[in-house]
């Protein structure tokens, strides 16, 4: 049986330890909280102090930065990037290769499409089809 953790050196020369999540084998940094019922696919990264709730699905290649929160049942699609301190509401969906900036907030049930950019600090809600609504 192989190791259930991996050590990675960051750009500041510090070594961070990541463990493999039981559902999907994605990498979870020490200090992050990921519910056992969440799915974190291989190749996804969850940074320290991030929170991923039950039923959330983090696809391959997705990156959840420090202090970000992913709500229950939210879906973060492949290669999406959730910035430092961003909040993804319950049941929200973030598309492929989409970037959610630092401190941004995505409302409960919102749909953000593929290849979109949500700028830092923005608050976004959408209709059922994913059209952004005025704040």
pLDDT tens digits, one per residue of 76-121: 999 999 999 999 999 999 999 999 999 999 999 999 999 999 999 9
The pLDDT assigned to 126 comes to 84
Angle (CA) 81 64 134, round 5°: 55
How many Å apart are CA 54 and CA 34, to the nearest integer? 8
Q: Report residue 3's pLDDT band, with 50, 70 and 90 as the boundaries.
A: low
Contact (Cβ atoms closer than 8 angstroms) between residue 4 and residue 21: no
Radius of gyration of the chain (CA): 14
> pTM value?
0.90
pLDDT in tens, 10-66: 778 888 889 999 999 999 999 999 999 999 999 999 999 999 999 999 999 999 999
Q: Write down the residue that tokens 């519910």 correspond to.
A: 35
In the predicted model, is pLDDT for residue 129 greater than 80?
A: no
Give the pLDDT of residue 2: 60
CB atoms within 10 A of CB 114: 13
Answer yes or no: are the C-beta atoms of 56 and 77 closer than 8 Å. Answer: no
Q: Which two tokens stand for residue 58?
A: 């983090």
Residue 13 makes CB contacts below 8 A (sequence gap 6+) with: none
Q: Report pLDDT for 6.
A: 81
């Amino acid at each position: 049986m192989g190791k259930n953790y991996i050590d990675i050196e960051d750009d500041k020369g510090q070594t961070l330890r990541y463990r493999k999540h039981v559902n999907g084998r994605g990498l979870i940094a020490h200090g992050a909280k990921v519910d056992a019922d969440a799915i974190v696919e291989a190749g996804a990264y969850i940074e320290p102090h991030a929170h991923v709730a039950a039923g959330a699905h983090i696809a391959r290649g997705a990156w959840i930065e420090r202090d970000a929160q992913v709500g229950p049942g939210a879906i973060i699609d492949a290669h999406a990037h959730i910035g430092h301190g961003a909040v993804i509401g319950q049941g929200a969906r973030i598309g492929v290769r989409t970037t959610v900036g630092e401190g941004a907030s995505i409302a409960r049930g919102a749909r953000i499409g593929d290849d979109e950019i949500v700028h830092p600090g923005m608050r976004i809600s959408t209709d059922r089809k994913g059209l952004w609504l005025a704040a």
